[in-house]
Structure 1
């Protein structure tokens, strides 16, 4: 699978960081052999992922004019129609020790304008690299400049899917073309913003957008050029972890890209007001022979709700039996028995009420008689004591 990441006409919108995190999760969580390829010299992905390690282990590049690694080492071999595993082994920089699990084809040392011109004039050179890499790697993630529409157009025939990184807020122009399977990713996403995921999807006229929530820890790691450590430490975060929202959301994008399976659970991620309107649609589509069950669940924040729609097959009902009309005499007899039963129930109810009333009166009279008797005994004692004193 060849997946191209790009920004808009206005900004890259953290496309390099998004690509690095997506490729890293595909490799470390799903163990897919992954290659990162860059068609722009700006914001190299290897710097975000393993820049710290490379700077600690390598000699200063300024001492060497020629370096036979990365894109340059492959494009120099113009006569080669297909690159082998050994070609890539000598050209790539492994981000993880496992062979071909996460390799980075270092960015070209040429000037950005020269790289763009060569790709536009000879897109077959990039196509040869991509087609050869597909025999070795499960997924190839390509970074392109969204402002360089001609470069994107030149390599698009070799790409299966595109991811366009957009900002949360106003709509930005997107001139660079995309494949038929194009995904929109809102980077630096904030759940508290009025520009929700549903709002952004509606703004761009699509069914759904993916989000990459803002995370300060993630920012610190890629700023320190050590993003690979963040990825390795957060492939399976707990719900209580700060990285949970970011990794969980990006994992949905990863699964959609590498497995072609989008999360059913996220199908109706809208506000409660929108859910009531949206849920009626499947009923019309599935017809009368279906039952729709909706369960509201909180989605990361209390303001978000999930609607789980399950379509269940309804077994055909048994045909109704014809009811023969009753004989008038039998009907009259049944009506008489019914009236008799009603009278009996009324008599029993009246009897029960009388007994309850009698029991209440008896209890009240008993308490009153007991009190009178106690008063008489008390008065007799007082009279006896008085007579004894007089004597």
Structure 2
């Protein structure tokens, strides 16, 4: 099925495209070099409604559909993948989890400032010994009268340094497996929440990634998100939505690499003619364009299923798997088309190649996506 965008979806895409390329793109390379967090970008993005796109207007959001959101996210990723990953976590995991599981009071206190971009959020799930297997996490939350006391360490937390509020999972019943995990809203200034080691990453360098350490971190029981034991369900729901966002980021980065490669090849001359006259380069261009479009259709399919409130776990994993593998191949081809120049920081494809590498890893590795997809297929087969 070829998706026909509505006039409103096209308007949002075009608005974000113009903002992204005029405001975000010019300083992206410098931020990659200095690792400077793009706080100014997020302030402007909040004013444009991009930090809580799918949040209801009653809580400061735009009430946008998922298709509009992924189109916007792709345009941000086109200019700066670091900026896009913060936008993705903010929208699809933090804001959506609060919107779907939060109480009215929790939404008023936390969701409204998040949706407006006045506050950056983070989600704490991964741990040093619990990556693809979140049930094995060691963080615990023990009830003490009207509070919970949290102890543990979360690792590879996007925006861990700059976030003002963290949604964190912890075991409240260690013997109950995935049903014994709960989720808590923890403001950054809560005593006992410590920002730990900041990673020096290969890519996405303007987006901070840190440890978050909880040492007798006391939070009110009223800051539990959802019900006791809902933590695993909240995390998996957020990851389903987040995986469509990873596909969107992958497509934005791949499109940027493709455009840069085509532009370079069109002006580069070898053997007396532009290299685009050579069949080998033309075949590369055709393959790259086809891969990007296939990924885009998978992304739009998953996003539209989510908008129709249909089950979309399998489709989100398919979109994430294909798009994240695709962007690694497309950025590698883009460097190849640049020749030796592609290996230098003078050309944008070098940064895009580094940024793309993590997309097959975070929010579920490619191997995990294949497990999710096959499990859903076999489950459906058993129902026949």
Specify which structure has the higher proportion of helix: 2
Give the structure-1-normalised TM-score.
Answer: 0.21
Looking at CA atoms only, which structure, 1 or 2, has the larger radius of gyration?
Answer: 1
Give the structure-2-normalised TM-score.
Answer: 0.21
